Structure formats: C-alpha cells, structure tokens
Amino acid sequence: MSSIFSFLFRIVLNKYKKNSQDLSKFLTPKKFAEIEEIIGFKISNKNYFTQALIHRSFLDQSYSADISNERLEFLGDAVLNLVVADYLFDNFRDKDEGFLTKTRSKLVNRNALSDAAERINLVKHVLISKQLKNTLSNGLHTVLADAFEALIGAVYLDGGLGHAEKFIKRIIIEPNSKDGGYLRDENFKSQLLEYAQANKMENPRYEVIKEDGPQHDRIFTIRVSVGSDITGNGTGRNKKTAEQNAAHDALSKIPSLN
C-alpha cells in the first residue's frame, strides 16, 4: 500500500507511545504467547494487545475509560475496511462500486467479525467483568466483534500495515473466500421487496407476533406477508435478524424462485 499510510502509521504510533500506563499486568506470559500464535508475529508492545482485550466493564474507577478497547476498536475498524476494500478492488476489477460496497459490508459486518473472533477463540482472552459476562450469556457476539476490531488495531500499531493485512486476509478474507460465501446475496428482505415490485404486488409487511425471554436476551418472532398468498415467519435476537429470517422463509415458499 502507498507510503502515505506508512506516514500516518508513524503519527498514530507516536501518539500511542505517550500512554505510559503499564497494562500488561492483566495478562500472563502464557496468554501473550497464545496471542502471538494468533497474530503470527512476536509482540513488541504488550500494552496494545492488553488494551485491545479490555472491555469497559472490566475496569474499576481507578482507571480512565480510554484504557478500554474502544479507541483501538475505532482504529481497527478503519484498518479492516481499508484492507478489505483494497483486496476487493484488486481481485474484482470487472465489478462496479455497488458490488464492491455490498461485498465489503458482508466481510466486515458484526456476524463476520464475531465468526472470526470465534475462529481464533478470542473469548478465552477478552477481559470482561463476570457480572456482564453472566448477564450476556449467549449474547457475547457484539463484545467479541468489538474486541476483534480492537485486536486488528493493536496488530496495526505494533506490526504495521503489512502484518495487519496478513492477519485480516488469513482470519477473515480467506475463510470466507473458500466457498464464495461472501458473494451470495443474503439480504433476503431486499430480495423479497424486489420480487414484490417486479410482480406488481404490495410491499412486504413485517409484524412482531411474539417476544420471548428476559429483557436483556429477547427472542423476536416476526411474520412477513406479501399480498394474501405469500407469508413467512422468522425468529432472531433482534428485529432485523428476525425480519431477514422471515423474508428468507417467504422466499423459500415461492415456486418460481426454487
């Protein structure tokens, strides 16, 4: 990538060097060795990687909020989008901006990031309060996705853009490239809307028909209907997911599409 990014890297690196607090005490030497295996190179600054794994809930009042992984998450998100955009631009030269944008979105969305975090067993290393971990139960996906982006930020700061690019390609791009999964259109709501409009039908209508579970761990059931003939039901931990699943169910019942 161009030298301008190397220049920007040095600026960001110098700013982070000003943080004199030693955070490495939160992780054991064994943990750092395991993280080195994950990232593929030897760590120079342990603070970056410790901070990448610190969720805000882990810190007590003696630490400032900026020691959590939120700032590194912001940086990692930018690096991730750059690397994925560069990869798609180079490998799909015949595709337009719409395809590139949609495909990048599928590679960097929360589901893709939480899958990547599970792939490297990041939950084993994330520092989070026991109370929050118990409260979230199976809803750790957002925490893991955020920590994964923060880890990318740490890799970038400690190893440079080259190591960050290798890490992202190995953990996100290559696993999703094997079966071409990121090329499939999984926006079922959009597909259902296009079908309805192409066949001069009313736009799909979504309604919540049931909510289950405690407030912090809700399960939504949503029904979608297109006219009087096409319906579908779907569940999910949020309304967007439930709507997508309902649209998928409705599409599966349309003979001309199957």
Which CATH topology does 3-183 take?
A: Ribonuclease iii, N-terminal Endonuclease Domain; Chain A (1.10.1520)
Which of 149, 158, 165, 243 is an active site residue?
149
Confidence of residue 184 (pLDDT cuts 50, 70, 90): low
The pLDDT tens digits of the residues spanning 105-125 come to 889 988 889 889 999 999 899
Strand partners, 149: none
The pLDDT value recorded for residue 16 is: 52
Told to judge if 165 belongs to the known catalytic residues of this protein, a careful annotator would answer no
Active-site residue among 34, 70, 77, 118?
77
Task: Kindly list the domain boundaries of the chain, sorted by start residue.
Answer: 3-183, 188-257
End-to-end CA distance of the chain: 44
Q: What is the pLDDT of residues 193-237, one digit of tens each?
A: 988 998 899 999 999 999 988 776 789 999 999 988 889 999 988
pLDDT number for residue 152: 98
Number of DSSP helices (H) and strands (E) in the chain, helices first = 11, 3
Annotation marks residue 212 as catalytic: no
Three-class SS state of 9: helix
Least confident interval from 5-9, 97-101, 188-192, 199-203: 5-9
Higher pLDDT, 207 or 5: 207
Whole-angstrom Cα Rg for the chain = 21
Query: What CATH class does 188-257 carry?
Result: alpha beta
